[in-house]
C-alpha cells in the first residue's frame, strides 16, 4: 500500500480510470478501512472511480474455520460462511468511507435486499453511490447449492434467498441497482475437459474436482455443465 499513492494517478496514462477494492480475502486482496479511505481520496483527486467488493473478511475467516472443524464441507457452506449481514454492514461502511472521502463509490455484485436498501438510503441523501447486481443473483438461490451438483453454483459473494432476489428486482426497477453486469468468472467442471486444459496449459481455468470441500472449489460459474 505504501507505493499506491504514487502509482494510482499513473494508471490514467494507461487508460485505466477505475479501481477495485476488497473488504474480504484477508491476507490476499483485502485493504483495511484506512487504506480504502486513502484510495477513495486519490481517486476523487484524479477523476477515477472506485469499485468495492463488500463482504466481511474477518467474519468469513472465523466461520470457515469453524465449519471445517465441524466437518461441514458441502457446497452449501460456502453461502453459510459468507452471511448476508456481512455484505450489508460492509456496504454501509463503504458508503460511509466514500462520503467522508467525498468520492463516488460503485458497489459491485450486490446480492442482498439489505444492500439495496443501504444504497437507496444513501442516494436519497444525495451521496454519490451506485449499486450493481448480476444475473446469477436474480435467478439462482442457496437451494442450488444443496443439489447434487451444488459445486457448480459456487460464486462470491454467494447466491442468496428468494427474498433477496425480490429486493434486487425492486432495486433494478427503481434505479438503485443501475448497472447490471455478469462479474464473469467461469471454470470448466467436466473432469475430461479439465485434464485436457491442463495438458495444453490452457489459459482457461478448470474447476477443482474436489466438489465436496467448498474451500477448494474455485468461485465462479462453469462454462460446461
Q: What is the pLDDT of residues 168-220, one digit of tens each?
A: 999 999 999 888 888 877 776 665 455 455 555 554 455 545 778 999 888 88
> Before 157, cis peptide (omega within 30)?
yes
CA–CA gap between residue 121 and residue 116 (Å, rounded): 9
Backbone angles phi, psi at 34, to 5 degrees: -65, -35
Specify the pLDDT at position 221.
74
Which domains, and CATH codes, for the chain?
4-185 (3.20.20.140)
DSSP class of 56: -
Q: What number is the average pLDDT over the span 29-49?
A: 96
Query: Each residue of 108-118: pLDDT tens digit?
Result: 999 999 999 99
- pTM, whole model, 2 decimals? 0.88
Specify the pLDDT at position 225.
44
Specify the pLDDT at position 186.
72
Specify the pLDDT at position 152.
87
Q: Please determine, for residue 90, whether its predicted confidence score (pLDDT) is greater than 50.
A: yes
Closest CA to 92 of 50, 45, 52, 44: 52
Amino acid at each position: 500500500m505504501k507505493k499506491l499513492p504514487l502509482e494510482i494517478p499513473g494508471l490514467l496514462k494507461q487508460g485505466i480510470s477505475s479501481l477495485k477494492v476488497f473488504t474480504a480475502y484477508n491476507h490476499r486482496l483485502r485493504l483495511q478501512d484506512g487504506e480504502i479511505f486513502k484510495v477513495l481520496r486519490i481517486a476523487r483527486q484524479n477523476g477515477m472511480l472506485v469499485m468495492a467488493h463488500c463482504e466481511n473478511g474477518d467474519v468469513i475467516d472465523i466461520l470457515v474455520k469453524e465449519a471445517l472443524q465441524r466437518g461441514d464441507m458441502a457446497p452449501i457452506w460456502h453461502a453459510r460462511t459468507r452471511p448476508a449481514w456481512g455484505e450489508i454492514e460492509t456496504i454501509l461502511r463503504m458508503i460511509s468511507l466514500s462520503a467522508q472521502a467525498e468520492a463516488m463509490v460503485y458497489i459491485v455484485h450486490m446480492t442482498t435486499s439489505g444492500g439495496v436498501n443501504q444504497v437507496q438510503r444513501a442516494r436519497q441523501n444525495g451521496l454519490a453511490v451506485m449499486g450493481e447486481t448480476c444475473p446469477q443473483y436474480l435467478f439462482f438461490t442457496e437451494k442450488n447449492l444443496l443439489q447434487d451438483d451444488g459445486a457448480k453454483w459456487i460464486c462470491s459473494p454467494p447466491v442468496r434467498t428468494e427474498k433477496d432476489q425480490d429486493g434486487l428486482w425492486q432495486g433494478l426497477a427503481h434505479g438503485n441497482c443501475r448497472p447490471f453486469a455478469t462479474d464473469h468468472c467461469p471454470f470448466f467442471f467436466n473432469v475430461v475437459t479439465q485434464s485436457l486444459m491442463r495438458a495444453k496449459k490452457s489459459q482457461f481455468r478448470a474447476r477443482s474436482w474436489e466438489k465436496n470441500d467448498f474451500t477448494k472449489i474455485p468461485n465462479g460459474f462453469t462454462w460446461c455443465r
